[in-house]
Amino acid sequence: MSNAKRVLEIGTFTGYGALSCAEALPDDGEVITCDFDPYLENLAKEYTSKSVHGKKISIRIGPALDTLNKLGNEKKSFDVIFLDADKDKYWAYYQAIMDRGLLAPRGTIVVDNALFYGQVYRETRDKNGEGLKTFNDNVSRDPRVTTVLIPLQDGIRLIRRTEDMLGKRQAD
């Protein structure tokens, strides 16, 4: 649907998400997935290595913000970024993605748990709900993107980059 060739997944868990992305990519596609737990790296490799598409997947272990900064230093850019990690850090992840140029022009960020069990609408929230409220409010005000919130399960937010790589709005 998006003609993606490069996908970044923030939050690997078992690797099924990375594998489903890899299956949808062309043969020369690439999925980089990151997680903090070496145990999850081994678990994900166990599952993804059984598929012919597993060769498209590389796993990076470490804190997500560190990984995002490293990817920025490597000048990586992604057509699709799937965000499903520490909910209280979504805004920091988003800032790193945008500031480091990780989202390709017209690229899309798919955000899981954007409503977080309705906590974003409550007056009292836990740290995850508060983090997602901050994230949603700030993304909604970012002129570099257009966004839609889909109220499935606990919310999916789609964020599409609208400006060129230099950060300037395209002339209408």
The class that CATH gives domain 6-161 is alpha beta
Q: pLDDT category, 157, cuts 50, 70, 90?
A: very high
- The secondary structure of 34-65 as a DSSP string is EES-HHHHHHHHHHHTTSGGGGGEEEEES-HH
Q: Which residues contact 79 (CB under 8 A, 6 or more apart)?
A: 2, 3, 4, 5, 6, 7, 104, 107, 108
Give the pLDDT confidence score for residue 164 in this predicted structure. Answer: 54
Please, which pLDDT band fits residue 170 given cuts at 50, 70 and 90? very low
Give the whole-angstrom CA distance, residue 60 versus residue 70. Answer: 10
Q: Lowest-pLDDT range, 34-48, 73-87, 105-119?
A: 34-48
| φ/ψ of residue 109, rounded to 5 | -105, 130
Least confident of 10-14, 110-114, 152-156: 10-14
Residue 123 CB partners (closer than 8 Å, separation 6+): none
> Which has more confidence, 28 or 37?
28
Give the pLDDT of residue 43.
Answer: 75
User: In this predicted structure, what is the pLDDT of residue 172?
Assistant: 36
Confidence of residue 159 (pLDDT cuts 50, 70, 90): very high
pLDDT tops 60 at residue 169: no
* Sequence ranges of the domains in the chain: 6-161
The b/e string for 159-169 (b: 16+ C-beta within 10 A; e otherwise) is bebeeeeeeee
Residue 22, pLDDT > 50, answer yes
